[in-house]
Amino acid sequence: MKTKGRCAKTRSIGVAGVATLLLLVYPAARADTLAGSIKQVKSSVVAVGTYHPTRTPRAKLTGTGFVIGDGRHVITNAHVLPDVLDGKNKERIAVFAGQGSKPEVITAETVALDRNYDIAVLKMRRRKLPALRLGRSRGVEEGRRVAFTGFPIGSVLGLYPVTHTGIVSAITPIAVPVPAARQLNPKLIRRMRSSYKVFQLDATAYPGNSGSPVFDPATAEVIGIVNKVFVQGTKEALLENPSGITYAIPIHYAKDLLKKKGITLAPE
């Protein structure tokens, strides 16, 4: 009986030892939760827009972006940026960091732009922020759980990051054939000629969410970029009232652009 007792005690210690070992091997259990991922992502999400010293208001928020790589580069949508800046009056592209009604204004410049995939990369001139890791988007399947964080209607609600969750409900071409030739327009024709697949999400994005990172809720790795206007305008060109469907550009297109421009993702 004593021998059995010792064996039972040994087995008990063994189980406890395995549990301890698992905690040592997987110390990031807290980070592998949506709450932990949101906390990580929020520190890297910024608002994007322009700053004009003589305008009222001086800051104009047009979308969201997120910090990558060395902490100075920001990915956003190309359509978030203005076509022309009022250089005479010192208007400039700006990144807005922090939370609340008085964010830090950081001057930035465009260092990479791909209008076909609606991706822009900015470089902040005098600041570094925590960076997000870019995950893999080519292997993403329908039904994959995702989240995205950004600034919906940021110019009205202020810089208070909002997170939405959902799934990848479809992987779909950016443009679909129209039933009649009279419904074609030059923009739609261009999109059909260079069609590629995007993620369709069942979570609703709002104006200001463009450029938000779509990330894995467990790891916080970015797998896509929310695109509220550019893709929707192509996919739903025939709808009188656009739907609440949200689309996202797979992150591998951004990776390709970064590689093409020689922008390193270190220290990822």
pLDDT digits (tens, 9 = 90+) for 121-176: 999 988 899 999 999 999 999 999 999 999 987 666 678 999 999 999 999 888 65
- Lowest-pLDDT range, 22-31, 93-102, 200-209? 22-31
Of 92, 77, 62, 67, residue with least CA distance to 154 = 62
Question: Which pTM value belongs to this model?
Answer: 0.78
pLDDT over 70 at 30, yes or no: no
Please enumerate in sequence order all residues whose Cβ is within 8 A of that of 242, keeping only pairs 6 or more positions apart, or say none.
Answer: 232, 236
Beta strands, E only, 181-245: 197-201, 213-215, 222-227
Contact predicate 242/236, CB 8 Å: yes
Contact predicate 265/68, CB 8 Å: yes
